[in-house]
C-alpha cells in the first residue's frame, strides 16, 4: 500500500471523530442514564406501576376509544378499583406532572406523542 | 358417471346463478331490509334535537350563544373568512332556508338572521363519506368527530349540505386568546363542528347555547320522548328544517 502511514492514521482519525459523541458521553458520564422521573403526587396508579411502564400507551389508546366512541366514563382497573373520569387530565395528570414525568422518558426515547397538540396541559403544577 | 358436456354446462350455470342470486333471495325471504340502511338503527329511543324560535332571534341582534359556545370549546377566531372555524353562526333567512324562500314572503319572516349549527342529522351525509370512520353517529343521535381518527380529507365537509363543518388550516391555538383547560383544542389538519355539547349532556347539563340564550329562543330535548321540551315546543306551531328535501333528517327545527 502506498502511503500506508498516512492512510492508517487517516482511518484512525476518522473513526475517532465519527465516534466522538459516544466517547464524550462516556467520559462525561452521561451515557445510558435512565431518566429520573418525578414521583407521583398521589397514588396509587390505576394499574400496577410495572404494567403501566410497559403498557400505558395501550391503556390510553383503549381509553380514547372507550370514551369517544363508546361513551364510557369509568375505568374498571385490574386492581378491582373503579376510576371515574377515564382520561389523561382526569386521572394521570392529577398525580403526575407532564414536564417532569411524561416528557422525561419520551424525550429520552425520542418518541413524540401528539396528545398535547389538542389536549391541554393543566396549568396547576402538580409537585 | 357419464356426464355430457351440455349437461355439465347446464348444472354449472344453475349453480353459479344460485350462488350469485341466492343471498339476495334469502334476505328477501327472511324479511330483512335488503337496501343498505344505516340511519334507522336503534338509538335506544333517543334522538337529541333542538327547536329555535326564530322570531326571538330575529328580533334581537344577539350572539350570546355563539360567544359562549366558542369560548368553552376553544373554537378559534380567524379574520380570514377562508380559514374561519365556527360551531354556531348566524345567517339570513334566504341563506339558511334557500328552498323555502318564496316570493312575497313577509319581511317579518325573512328579516334578521337565525342561528345555524350542525343539524345532527338522522341520516348524516358526512358519516357516510368519512373514509376512516372518524365521524360517526352516536346511539343518542349526536354526530361527533373522533379527532384521533380524522385525517383531514374534508370529504365530510363536501358531504354536509349545511356548511356545519370547519377545517383547521392552521394551528387553532393561534386563533385563541385564552384556552379553556376543561376542553381540548383541536390541531392543524382536522375538521370540527358542533357536538350538541355531548360533554355537558354526559354530566346532565343542557347545551351551553341553550343555557346562555337570554331570550330562551333555544329548546333542547329528546324527539323520541313525547313529553320532552322539544316535542312540547313543536306542538301547535309550524316549524321548518333546513334543506329537508335532501333527506338527511336534520334535527334542528326552526319555528317561523
Whole-number Å distance between alpha carbons of B103 and B108: 14
Closest CA to B73 of B243, B246, B192: B192
Q: What confidence tier does B36 reach under pLDDT thresholds 50, 70, 90?
A: very low
Cα–Cα distance between A13 and A3 in angstroms, integer?
Answer: 15
Identify residues of B whose CB sits under 8 angstroms from chain A CBs: 74, 136, 138-139, 144, 146-148, 179-181, 183-188, 202
Distance CA B90, CA A78 (A): 49
Chain B residues whose CB is inside 8 A of the A120 CB are 74, 179-181, 183-185
The helix or strand, by DSSP H or E, that contains position A68, with its residue range, turns out to be helix A49-68
Average pLDDT for B78-92: 95
pLDDT at B173 over 90: yes
* Beta partners for residue B219, in sequence order: B51
Interface touch B136/A123, C-beta < 8 Å = no
- Is residue B21's pLDDT more than 60? yes
pLDDT at site A84: 84
Q: What is the ipTM of this complex?
A: 0.73
* pLDDT, position A37: 83
Minimum distance, in Å, between the CA of residue B63 and any CA atom of chain A: 26
Are B146 and A69 inside 8 Å of each other by CB?
A: yes
Model confidence at A123: pLDDT above 80:
no
Phi, psi (5° rounding) for residue B189?
A: 95, 15
At A38, the pLDDT band (50, 70, 90 cuts) reads: confident
- Which residues of chain A does B138 touch, with a Cβ-Cβ cutoff of 8 Å? 71
Q: What is the C-alpha separation between A93 and A120, in angstroms, rounded? A: 11
A12-16, B41-45, B76-80: which has the minimum mean pLDDT?
B41-45
User: Would you say the pTM of this structure is higher than 0.80?
Assistant: no
Q: How are beta strands A75-76 and A82-83 bridged, if at all? A: antiparallel
Interface of A to B at Cβ within 8 Å reads 64, 68-69, 71, 73, 89, 114, 117-120, 122-123
Residue with cell 392529577: A94
Q: How many Cα atoms within 13 Å fall on the side-chain side of residue A4? A: 1
* Mean pLDDT for the stretch of residues A1-23: 92
Mean pLDDT of the region B79-106: 92
Q: B58 pLDDT exceeds 80?
A: yes
The domains of chain B, with CATH numbers, are 5-255 (3.30.70.20)
Beta strands in A1-127 (DSSP E): 75-76, 82-83
What residues of B are in contact with residue A68 (Cβ under 8 Å)? Answer: 144, 146, 148
Pairing of strands B166-167, B191-192: antiparallel
How far apart are the C-alpha atoms of B145 and B59, rounded to whole Å? 33
Average pLDDT over residues B237-248: 94
SS3 B75: coil
Amino acid at each position: 500500500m502506498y502511503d500506508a502511514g498516512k492512510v492508517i492514521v487517516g482511518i484512525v482519525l476518522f473513526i475517532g471523530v465519527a465516534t466522538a459523541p459516544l466517547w464524550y458521553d462516556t467520559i462525561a458520564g452521561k451515557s445510558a442514564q435512565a431518566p429520573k422521573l418525578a414521583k407521583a403526587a398521589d397514588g396509587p396508579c390505576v394499574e400496577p406501576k410495572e404494567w403501566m411502564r410497559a403498557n400505558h400507551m395501550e391503556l390510553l389508546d383503549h381509553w380514547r376509544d372507550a370514551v369517544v366512541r363508546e361513551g364510557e366514563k369509568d375505568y374498571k382497573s385490574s386492581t378491582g378499583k373503579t376510576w371515574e373520569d377515564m382520561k389523561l387530565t382526569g386521572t394521570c395528570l392529577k398525580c403526575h406532572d407532564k414536564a417532569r414525568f411524561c416528557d422525561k422518558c419520551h424525550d429520552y426515547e425520542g418518541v413524540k406523542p401528539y396528545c398535547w397538540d389538542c389536549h391541554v396541559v393543566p396549568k396547576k403544577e402538580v409537585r | 358417471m357419464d356426464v355430457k358436456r351440455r349437461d355439465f354446462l347446464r348444472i354449472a350455470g344453475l349453480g353459479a346463478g344460485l350462488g350469485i342470486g341466492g343471498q339476495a333471495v334469502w334476505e328477501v325471504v327472511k324479511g330483512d331490509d335488503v337496501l343498505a340502511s344505516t340511519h334507522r338503527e336503534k338509538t335506544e329511543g333517543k334522538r337529541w334535537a333542538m327547536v329555535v324560535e326564530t322570531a326571538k332571534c330575529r328580533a334581537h341582534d344577539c350572539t350570546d350563544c355563539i360567544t359562549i359556545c366558542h369560548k368553552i370549546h376553544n373554537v378559534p377566531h380567524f379574520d380570514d373568512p377562508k380559514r374561519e372555524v365556527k360551531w354556531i353562526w348566524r345567517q339570513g333567512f334566504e341563506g339558511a332556508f334557500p328552498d323555502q324562500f318564496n316570493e312575497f314572503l313577509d319581511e317579518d319572516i325573512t328579516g334578521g338572521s337565525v342561528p345555524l349549527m350542525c343539524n345532527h342529522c338522522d341520516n348524516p351525509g358526512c358519516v357516510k363519506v368519512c373514509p376512516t370512520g372518524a365521524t360517526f353517529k352516536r346511539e343518542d343521535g349526536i354526530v361527533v368527530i373522533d379527532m384521533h381518527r380524522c385525517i383531514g380529507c374534508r370529504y365530510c365537509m363536501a358531504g354536509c349540505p349545511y356548511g356545519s363543518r370547519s377545517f383547521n388550516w392552521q394551528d387553532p391555538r393561534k386563533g385563541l386568546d385564552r384556552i379553556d383547560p376543561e376542553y381540548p383544542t383541536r390541531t392543524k389538519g382536522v375538521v370540527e363542528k358542533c357536538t350538541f355539547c355531548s360533554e355537558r349532556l354526559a354530566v346532565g347539563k343542557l347545551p351551553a347555547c341553550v343555557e346562555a340564550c337570554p331570550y330562551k329562543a333555544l329548546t333542547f330535548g329528546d324527539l323520541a320522548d313525547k313529553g320532552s321540551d322539544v316535542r312540547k315546543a313543536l306542538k301547535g306551531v309550524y316549524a321548518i328544517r333546513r334543506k329537508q328535501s335532501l333527506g338527511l333528517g336534520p334535527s334542528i327545527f326552526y319555528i317561523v
